[in-house]
Amino acid sequence: MLIEALVFVHILSGAIGLLSGFAILLFKKATQLHKRIGKLFFCAMMLLGLTGAVVGFVRWVPLSALNGLLVCYFVLTSLLAIQKEQPITVPLERILALFGAALVVSYILSGNIARSMPEGMLGGFDSIAYFVFGLIAAFAVASDAAYLLKHNHSVRSRVIRHLWRMLFPLFMATAAFFLGQAKLFPPHIQQSLIIIVPVIMVIAALLFWVARVYLSASWNRVKN
């Protein structure tokens, strides 16, 4: 009964996360509306990740459990990137970097276990899936290390960190729904390219906004 309730919360938070995430992409940035929707997106994605992790562990789908925790790691580090620096900020960022490193190790171990299985799968996924997400997590942890070693960060570096760490979880949720749950759509939609359009939109938005901020000279100032 509890698991069914968690699955319902997972689905509901996923729907809210998708709607609020796409709304953020459409509405003007740095406005009060953007900030309110951003808070809704953060809460929805945290709930999505936590419920996904619990359900994944209980049902023994390690990839789902690890990906749920990865979503939480991404949105938490994204939020900290744009917060005013407080005495607790850097310790939290260090803890999250260690948490990210633990995820990398978990992905690698799970991938090796999947590869050693007779059917070559663990929890319904092969080793490649574990290693791909492990590589993504490793890249994020490496960027954590570079970020923490630098004491003064420009507004541009913080905004880019915020952007890609918010949009990548949106990509994960979008792909999981439109591609992972394609069976929910009518057959003619499943067989068309329409179903991948939302996924491509998120990838395009991620690349566009990161490039726009990176190339804009107005962002290149130090934030104390």
pLDDT of residue 76: 97
Identify which of 76, 24, 32, 25 has the alpha carbon closest to the alpha carbon of residue 50.
76
Residue in the structure block whose two tokens are 């938070």: 13
The whole-angstrom separation of Cα 118 and Cα 121 is 8
- Number of folded domains that form the chain: 1
Q: Which residues of the chain have pLDDT under 70?
A: 87, 217-224
φ, ψ at 222 (rounded to 5°): -80, 135
pLDDT digits (tens, 9 = 90+) for 185-218: 777 777 777 889 999 999 999 999 999 998 886 6
pLDDT of residue 29: 76
pTM (2 d.p.): 0.91
Helix extents (H) in 59-126: 62-81, 89-116
The whole-angstrom separation of Cα 17 and Cα 170 is 8
The whole-angstrom separation of Cα 195 and Cα 112 is 32
What are the percentages of helix, strand and coil residues in the chain, rounded to 5? 80, 5, 15
pLDDT of residue 152: 73
The whole-angstrom separation of Cα 203 and Cα 196 is 11
Dihedral angle of Cα 52, 57, 60, 64, to the nearest 10 degrees = 30
Look up the domain containing 20 and give its range: 2-223
